[in-house]
Structure 1
Amino acid sequence: MDIQFLGATGTVTGSKYLVAVDGLRVLVDCGLFQGYKTLRLRNWEPLPVSPATLDAVVLTHAHLDHSGYLPLLVRDGFRGKVYCTAATRDLCHLLLPDSGRLLEEEAGYANRHATSKHTPALPLYSEADAVRALRTLVPVDFGHVLKLSHDLSIEFRRAGHILGAAMLRIQHQGQVLTFSGDLGRLHDPLMMPPAPIEETDYLVLESTYGDRCHAADDPIATLGKLIRDTTAHGGVVIIPSFAVGRAQEVLYYIHQLKQRGEIPSVLPVYLNSPMATEATAIFQRHRHDHLLSAKETDAVCHAARIVTTVEESIALNRSRAPKVIIAASGMATGGRVLHHLAAFAPDARNTIVFAGFQAGGTRGAALVGGAPNIKIFGEYVPVRAKVVQMDNLSAHADQQEILTWLGNFKRPPRMTYLTHGEPSAADALRLRIEERYKWPCRVPQYRDREDLR
């Protein structure tokens, strides 16, 4: 068995791992690179392995940095099956066509307004490409052992993180290779904790927060104070949020704050993301995959007014009355939140709250880093609003939570490969694992290949 690292090295995006064994080629995750242009350009390069030669794809979860390359893979010749959990399948049915539609809209805007160096500007893939890719998805239950050949099997175990997220244990002739996927929090209010793993021969481990720990503050109290302080001065709170996972958690907290009387029950809260609205409905359908009761799930679904039309979205920007607007995307890379940032970022009364990690090269990272202006739709927008990053709203386990999860192992892996992190985060986690557990660790580079013997 060998593994080649085709993404999520030196960055948190572009997750792709090629596992080759006994003549079979399996791609674990199929994600888009996001953030810096040098990374995004990789999406346009031919994949280092021909899609037609792949026998199967296995997804850890639905976020686009893990699934968003699938439309290209299918368009370029992949004819196998894509295995994932049922919730991941349902979320991909939502996320992938939306991604294609947004790419087409961005290319159309660039052509109409001549904002691209390319003539014509083309989308990376289309909505039709994404719809075709959905036909390849095959759901697999948690705990089920999927047999890809007589000697090769894959088991899905809960990773927490978001609805349907899985760890993958690939077994071949007694040898086990485990992919952590994106590990969730140990005490998340919505998602179940990552399942304990007691042994594996090789471990591919995420390191998004490998160099830091989340704030110990109560996120409900922190969010409540931000909302109270901003709206008391006539301001608007903008929350760029990942449509899957973070939007539902933010809605849950806002419901709690109103129930406790910590923010006014009449304060308008808007969910301006058709995708997040549909994701919340999927959250309701997959109640066995999260911790909320039926009553709590229903409350989350009704915690905000749903904005469905473009006209309603535009109207939110015209009104300067105090309110909370939750809109995708979580790193401000696209979507309706860009229009809200353009409208409200220049006003010092307003607050922009980021609910999770911001990859380098994104608008979110620039805003959190204190950028005095940001480029939106080809124009620079001054940033006078207060910008806050709430790391304790992240869906990723932090350094200490990762180390605690590793404490379940009864014996060390032969090698632990640290991926899905910025270089400083991956190396910091490598050092901590070596110091605490004395395990051998490695931080692979892009396109590195390892022979697992």
Structure 2
Amino acid sequence: MQVEFHGAAGQVTGSMHLVEAAGKRLLLDCGMLQGSREQEAGNAEPFPFDPAGLDAVVLSHAHIDHIGRVPLLVARGFSGPIWLQRASADLLPVMLEDAASLAASEAVRANRHRAPGEPEQAPLFTAADVAAVLALLRPLDYDVRTTILPGVEIALRDAGHILGSSIVELWADDRKLVFSGDLGPRGTPILRDPTAIAEADLVLMESTYGDRNHRERAATVHELGEVFEHAWRERGVVLIPAFAVGRSQELLYWFARHWDEWKLERWRIFLDSPMAAKVVGVYDRHQELFDEQARAVWARKPSPFRLPNLHYTASTGESMGINAIAGGAIVIAGSGMANGGRIQHHLRHRLARRDTHVVFVGYQAEGTLGRRLVERAPWVRIHGRDHRVNAQIHTVGGLSAHTDQQGLIDWYANFRNAPPVALVHGEDRAREALAGEIGERFGARVDLARPGMRLVV
């Protein structure tokens, strides 16, 4: 068995790893690069392998940095099965159809301003490309060992990151590969804890927060309540850039849990994301994957997805109307790194105001607008214009969907005999810190994956 790394190998986004085993070639994830304009331009580049030569694809979960280039893969010749967890199969069309719509809008905007003689920009992929992907999906339940190709078996285990997120166990050539996907923290609301795995010959392991530990979740939730109270006293507006899958639903969960304590009945709350609203429906259909506490919260009132003052804004006009509200509003909108979507319009209108509170609740990749705001840039560029940042910026790291350094170490500690590790899905500082900790504590060999690097299992 051989693994070759082609994405999320030295950075967080663009997850993509090629496995050759039992005479077959399969791809673990096919994610989109996110970050600076230069980084995202890499999404349109040719794949470093022949898509038509792949026998199968296995997807760990439905975040766009793990699935976002699948339509390109199919458009360029891949026609095999795409294996993923059943809830991920329900989320994937929501995510990819939204991405196709955004790509079309961005192409129109770019072509409107293109210089004379400059070639016309085409969208990265289209709705028709997404439809071709859906015909290839092969949904699986958790904990069922399945033959996906002759001589190749997989089982998907709960990764506790978002609904349907999976740790992939892969058996071939009398060897076993474990791909962590993205691992959630223990005790994450709604979701179950990541599954412990005991055996592996090689572990591909994420390292997003490999160099730090999160704040206690209780302290983070308390801080969130303080932000709301401060903003209310100022009659301000709270903007929360949040991923449509995971963060948006968890925020609504906390709103329901702390409804009285945070006096949320006095606010107007907006989930300004048609995609997030669709995702809410998927969560409702898969409550069998919730943990016990979440099922109890859903059983009482107010239910997280049906708060009495929660408004789902579907149309562009409804979204624009939010900008006319002077104060007393909480707006959750995508994208989570503020690199696109409706949150950019709200930031453009409100960043100059001191009574605006921008709350970041997830990882902000290098080169994104969110990262620049978190690093306190005095000016930021949105839609081609510079905007002064007078708003109050809050980073609430304890709500991350990724586990922290200690959580990664604790998950790896379940393996017997300290199997070798290849660290993916992390910036170098995070990976180097985690590699040092694993090497020192367990005596394991740890490699930092690089694009084009190969490991033989």
- Report the TM-score when normalising by structure 1: 0.96
Question: Which of 432, 440, 444 does residue 445 from structure 2 map onto?
Answer: 440
Q: Does 1:326 align with 2:327?
A: no
Q: How does 1:39-438 map to 2 (within 5 A)?
A: 39-114=39-114, 118-216=118-216, 218=218, 219-258=220-259, 260-291=260-291, 292-293=294-295, 294-295=298-299, 299-303=303-307, 304-413=310-419, 415-438=420-443
One-letter amino acid of the counterpart of residue 400, structure 2: S
For structure 2, which runs of at least 5 residues remain unmatched after alignment?
Answer: none
In structure 1, distance between residues paired with 2:108 and 2:117: 13
Distance 1:148 1:425 in 2: 34
CA change 1:264–1:246 in 2 (3 A) is: closer
CA distance in 2, matches of 1:249, 1:50: 39
Amino acid at match of 1:148: I
SS of match in other structure, 1:148: strand
Residues 1:116 and 1:383: Cα distance change in structure 2 (over 3 Å): farther
Q: How far off is 1:130 after superposition?
A: 1.6
Per the normalisation by structure 2, the TM-score is 0.96
Count how many residue pairs are aligned between Structure 1 and Structure 2: 450
Is the partner of 2:265 in helix, strand or coil?
Answer: coil
- Deviation of residue 338 (structure 1)? 0.7
The farther-off stretch of 322-331 and 402-411 is 402-411
Deviation per CA, 1:13-37: give whole Å up to 9, x if none.
Answer: 0000000013210000010111133
Runs of 4+ in 1 over 6 A off after TM superposition: none
Say what the alpha-carbon RMSD is for the aligned residues.
Answer: 1.6
Q: Which amino acid aligns with 1:337?
A: I
Compared with structure 1, are the counterparts of its residues 339 and 186 closer, same or farther at alpha carbon in structure 2 (3 Å cutoff)?
A: same
**Aligned-partner Cα distance in 2 for 1:256–1:157:** 28
The AA in structure 1 aligned to 2:304 is V
Greater shift, 114-123 or 328-337, is seen at 114-123
Q: Give distance in 2, aligned partners of 1:91 and 1:373.
A: 35
Contact 2:114 2:120 in 1 (8 A): no
- TM-aligned CA distance change 1:172 to 1:124, over 3 Å: same
Q: Report how far residue 77 of structure 1 moved.
A: 0.7
The Cα shift of 1:266 comes to 2.4
Contact 1:85 1:140 survives alignment (8 Å): yes
Gaps of 5+ in 1: none
Contact 1:198–1:411, Cα closer than 8 Å, also in 2: no
The one-letter code of the counterpart of 1:225 is E
Q: Is the 8 A contact 1:115 1:378 kept in 2?
A: no
The share of aligned pairs that are identical, in percent, is 37
Whether the 8 Å contact between 1:103 and 1:124 is mirrored in structure 2 is yes
Post-superposition shift, 1:420? 0.2
State the shift of 1:115 in Å. Answer: 8.2
> Are the structure 2 counterparts of residues 450 and 410 from structure 1 closer, same or farther at C-alpha, using a change threshold of 3 Å?
closer
Q: Distance in 2 between matches of 1:241 and 1:143?
A: 30
Deviation readout 1:149-194 (Å, 9 max, x if unpaired) = 3421111111110000000111114310100000011111211110
User: 1: CA distance between counterparts of 2:213 and 2:116?
Assistant: 40
